[in-house]
Structure 1
Amino acid sequence: MAWLTAREWTKRVASRLHRHAEPEPDPFETLRVQTRLGHLSGKIRSTESMPHVYARAHRLMALEAAYDDLLDEACRLAGVPDPGAARPEDRRWQEEQELAARGWTW
């Protein structure tokens, strides 16, 4: 059995006691995600309000998929835990509520 020197022992104890804090998210990245969420939610609303748009359902599915991906990224930036909802609509609603509770607007 190898004996540790005082320096090695101190390093081991310090590494166990020292908690590595997560770095704060970049505020410009947060702003980019918020801006993009606002843009996509506006496009979803406008697409939903146009009754005679070619491939409307396909466009809505693509926009909602992009919106859901951005919500996941926003939750990661805000430190929101994964809601674990099975249906995309439930997950989307839970993530929007968690982000709004943390002061996010879009």
Structure 2
Amino acid sequence: MQRLRTSLGQLAGRFRRQPVTVADPFDTLRLQTRLGYLATEIRRVENAPRIYARAHRLMAIEAAYDALLDEACRLAGVPEVDGLDGEDKRWSEEQELAARGWTW
């Protein structure tokens, strides 16, 4: 009888809906604000005619932007995509967040 209960419990667990986590709106707003700031900073560095250590600054800003995108994806419930890195991953995450209503 106990084995039957255990088996039924496991089977029911597979079909039970997983709880949906609702993100704190202030965390979402904070991330969107930071993403917007870093996106603006990336454009500024890319378009500046003369800037000291441009490549280094650009790599640092893009790394911070990518880290925030990863955090935003976790917060929004975007599944992690394997096999992508760099600009492809960035583009994919931006599209997934935009599809969920995120703006920055």
Structure 1: runs of 5 or more not aligned? none
Where in structure 1 do 4 or more consecutive aligned residues deviate above 6 Å?
none
Look up the equivalent residue of 2:77 and give its one-letter code: G
1:46 aligns with 2:44: yes
Q: Alignment partner of 1:77: what SS? A: helix
Deviation at residue 43 of structure 1 after TM alignment:
0.4
Which letter does structure 1 place at the counterpart of 2:27?
E
The TM-score, its normalising length taken from structure 2, stands at 0.81
- Give the match's secondary structure for 1:51: coil
**CA RMSD, 1 decimal:** 2.1
* Deviation (angstroms), 1:86: 3.0
Structure 2: runs of 5 or more not aligned: none
Q: Given the alignment of the two structures, is residue 61 of structure 1 paired with residue 77 of structure 2, yes or no?
A: no
Q: TM (normalized to structure 1)?
A: 0.80
**1:82 equivalent in structure 2:** 80
State which structure, 1 or 2, has the greater radius of gyration over its C-alpha atoms. Answer: 1
What does residue range 1-106 of structure 1 map to in structure 2 within 5 Å?
Answer: 16=13, 21-106=19-104
Aligned-residue sequence identity (percent) comes to 62
Structure 2 distance, partners of 1:47, 1:41, is 10
C-alpha distance after superposition, 1:33-55 (max 9, x if no partner): 00000000000000101121001
How many residue pairs get matched? Answer: 97
